């Protein structure tokens, strides 16, 4: 049976959490604790030629910077590593290994770049470094591609090659199947590693299964202190140390890892949470890049069920290659349910004819300036319509609903409050739990496909009013967006990116109001950034 070893990559992979800003002294403490614990491989950071030397970060432009940082530090029996994301650090930024504190270089690369990256590995090896070839997204490789990869690796003869489960998709059976192919075709001297991500809470379990497999080859598993790392985090190193001591007869000083966690990692964890959550579960379950999940969840218009359905409709070849334009295209396609709304439009046109209209939004000024709104209603006796919320203090005639996520949240308030009889005007993308809505209008006709956020609900309703022939409307609770204050009285209504895009939202609505001013006049009952 071959040797089983551990590799810590806290200072590298963990750096995604805090922008690699650990601080000089904390980095030294982590390093020395890991050396004392007896961890065989310690990855101290990223090499990226675009960066500048910073003694408080674990990402540096060249190997010489690490020499300056770790001068006089004792490596013990550990091998010191740094990582290069292929294409981001040229060979000229690596000094010969004999002149460097670093012993080995891990080179990560996607499948389509493997030939160029392996050629780079040969150059790194020629400088005297132990080279680790890191297969990003190993789940994208077919069995045939794994065999081809192994044969190409044999031509380079790196110190090790590693299976990187970038999106946390593997279970133990799949992992061992991939390993079995590599083990069959790789030269026996080449070590094989495994780097887990914890999207399915399987990082530690998979690492244990790998470390316990029956193989003559030397193998190693990656871990980080407290599982610190990108996305859902990694296999916790302290658990791997414990497991190896109990199951493999190792003698790691696990308490040293606990000291590093207590002194350095926990303060970071309290400020920058990482680990398993619903977001990363969805990404792994649908085999999609996490940015797609983020994009659709940030819309705050879709239920989780609908997000899962939408992700399932992405082209398989594009799921792990994030493209924001493609995401918006698919979002619009998914929301654009075919709808013949001619009959509904005729009824609505008749109902609003000759009526004063008041449209209510969920901005904070609905609470702050409620007296203005109530006085307006008492004086003008308008037809009152809300957008995506149900007020508890004001009786309304109708609710304009554009967001599936709001539906079930609103219905309970509607059932219990004074707006039980309010009619719902729903866009065709919203699905009712049972039956149909009284009025359904075409979602596709109301969205603006030529702007960044295509389904602004206020603009959608104004577009509807223009189609219905309304000449004027009064607005309350449409505050616009502030970069500093909360924009809604209930944060569930907030776009997750509303503060950073405040200027865009405000400008977009003001420009629309100006554009349609000759068709419909809009006045504000409550204060708003949208006022022209």
What are the residue ranges of helices labelled H in 381-531?
404-416, 443-446, 457-468, 502-515
φ, ψ of residue 28 to 5 degrees: the values are: -65, -35
Whole-number pLDDT of residue 451? 82
**Three-class HEC string of 381-397:** CCEEEEECCCCCCCCCC
Kindly list the domain boundaries of the chain, sorted by start residue.
4-102+168-176+188-271, 286-335, 342-524
Q: Hey, what CATH class is 4-102+168-176+188-271 in?
A: alpha beta
What does the chain come to in residues? 532
Q: Each residue's pLDDT tens digit in the chain (532 positions)? A: 899 999 999 999 999 999 999 999 999 999 999 999 999 999 999 999 999 999 999 999 999 999 999 998 999 999 999 999 999 999 999 999 999 999 999 999 999 999 999 999 999 999 999 999 999 999 999 999 999 999 999 999 999 999 999 999 999 999 999 999 999 999 999 999 999 999 999 999 999 999 999 999 999 999 999 999 987 999 999 999 999 999 999 999 999 999 999 999 999 999 998 998 888 889 888 989 889 998 888 877 677 877 888 899 899 989 988 999 999 888 888 776 667 889 999 999 999 999 999 999 989 999 999 999 999 999 999 999 999 888 888 999 999 998 876 666 666 666 666 788 889 898 888 865 555 788 999 888 888 878 877 888 999 999 999 999 999 999 999 998 877 666 544 444 444 444 567 788 889 999 999 999 999 999 999 999 998 7
φ, ψ of residue 418 to 5 degrees: the values are: -85, 0
44 and 12 Cβ atoms separated by less than 8 Å: yes
Q: Are strands 219-223 and 439-441 parallel, antiparallel or unpaired?
A: unpaired
Q: Could you tell me the strand order of the sheet in which 357-360 lies?
A: 439-441, 423-427, 398-401, 383-387, 357-360, 472-476, 521-524
Whole-number pLDDT of residue 340? 84
Nearest C-alpha neighbor of 137 from the set 274, 319, 292, 15: 319
**C-alpha neighbours within 13 Å on the C-beta side of residue 514:** 9
Question: In which residue are the tokens 């310690």 written?
Answer: 42
How close are the terminal C-alpha atoms of the chain, in Å?
Answer: 76
3-state secondary structure of 280: helix
Q: How many CB atoms lie within 10 A of CB 458?
A: 22
Whole-number pLDDT of residue 477? 94
Instruction: Give the global pTM.
Output: 0.69
Buried b (16+ CB within 10 A) or exposed e, 384-396: bbbbbbbbeebeb
Q: How many CB atoms lie within 10 A of CB 494?
A: 15
Retrieve residue 291's tokens: 């940015």
> C-alpha distances in angstroms, 56 versus 24, 59, 70, 81?
5, 9, 12, 18
104 and 159 Cβ atoms separated by less than 8 Å: yes
CA separation for the pair 195, 222 (Å, rounded): 5
Whole-number pLDDT of residue 4? 97
């Amino acid at each position: 049976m071959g040797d089983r070893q551990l590799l810590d990559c806290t200072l590298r992979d963990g750096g995604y959490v805090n922008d690699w800003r650990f601080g000089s002294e904390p980095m030294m403490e982590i390093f020395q604790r890991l050396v004392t614990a007896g961890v065989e491989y310690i990855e101290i950071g990223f090499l990226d030629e675009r960066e500048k030397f910073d003694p408080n970060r674990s990402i540096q432009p060249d190997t010489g910077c690490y020499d300056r940082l770790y001068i006089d530090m004792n490596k013990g029996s550990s091998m010191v590593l740094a990582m290069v994301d292929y294409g981001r650090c040229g060979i000229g930024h690596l000094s010969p290994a004999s002149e460097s504190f670093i012993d080995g270089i891990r080179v990560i690369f996607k499948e389509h770049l493997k030939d160029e990256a392996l050629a780079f590995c040969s150059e790194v090896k020629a400088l005297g470094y132990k080279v680790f070839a890191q297969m990003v997204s190993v789940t994208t490789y077919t069995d045939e591609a794994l065999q081809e990869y192994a044969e190409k690796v044999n031509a380079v003869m790196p110190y090790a090659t590693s299976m990187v489960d970038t999106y946390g998709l593997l279970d133990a059976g799949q992992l061992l199947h991939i390993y079995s192919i590599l083990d069959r075709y790789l030269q026996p001297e080449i070590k094989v590693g495994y780097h887990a991500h914890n999207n399915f809470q399987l990082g530690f379990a998979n690492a244990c299964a790998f470390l316990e497999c029956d193989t003559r080859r030397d193998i190693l598993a990656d871990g980080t202190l407290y599982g610190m790392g990108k996305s859902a985090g990694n296999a916790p190193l302290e658990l791997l140390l414990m497991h190896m001591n109990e199951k493999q007869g190792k003698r790691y000083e696990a308490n040293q890892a606990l000291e590093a966690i207590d002194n350095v990692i926990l303060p970071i964890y309290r400020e920058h949470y990482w680990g398993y959550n619903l977001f990363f579960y969805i990404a792994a379950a649908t085999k999609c890049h996490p940015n797609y999940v983020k994009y659709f969840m940030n819309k705050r218009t879709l239920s989780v069920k609908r997000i899962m359905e939408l992700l399932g409709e992405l082209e398989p070849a594009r799921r792990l290659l994030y493209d924001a334009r493609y995401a918006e295209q698919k979002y619009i396609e998914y929301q654009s349910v075919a709808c013949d709304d001619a009959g509904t439009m005729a009824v609505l046109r008749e109902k609003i004819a000759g009526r004063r209209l008041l449209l209510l939004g969920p901005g904070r000024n609905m609470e702050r300036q409620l007296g203005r709104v109530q006085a307006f209603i008492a004086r003008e006796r308008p037809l009152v319509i809300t957008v995506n919320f149900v007020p508890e203090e004001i009786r309304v005639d109708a609710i304009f609903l554009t967001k599936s996520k709001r539906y079930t949240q609103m219905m309970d308030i509607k059932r219990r409050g004074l707006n039980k009889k309010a009619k719902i005007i729903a866009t065709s993308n919203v699905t009712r739990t049972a039956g149909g809505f009284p009025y359904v209008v075409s979602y596709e006709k109301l969205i603006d496909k030529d702007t960044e956020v295509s389904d602004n609900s206020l603009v959608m309703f104004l577009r509807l009013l223009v189609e219905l022939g309304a000449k004027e409307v009064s607005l309350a609770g449409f505050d616009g967006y502030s970069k500093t204050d909360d924009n809604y009285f209930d944060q569930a209504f907030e776009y997750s990116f509303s503060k950073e895009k405040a200027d865009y939202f405000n400008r977009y609505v003001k420009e629309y109001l100006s554009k349609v001013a000759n068709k419909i006049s809009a006045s504000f009952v409550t204060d708003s950034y949208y006022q022209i």
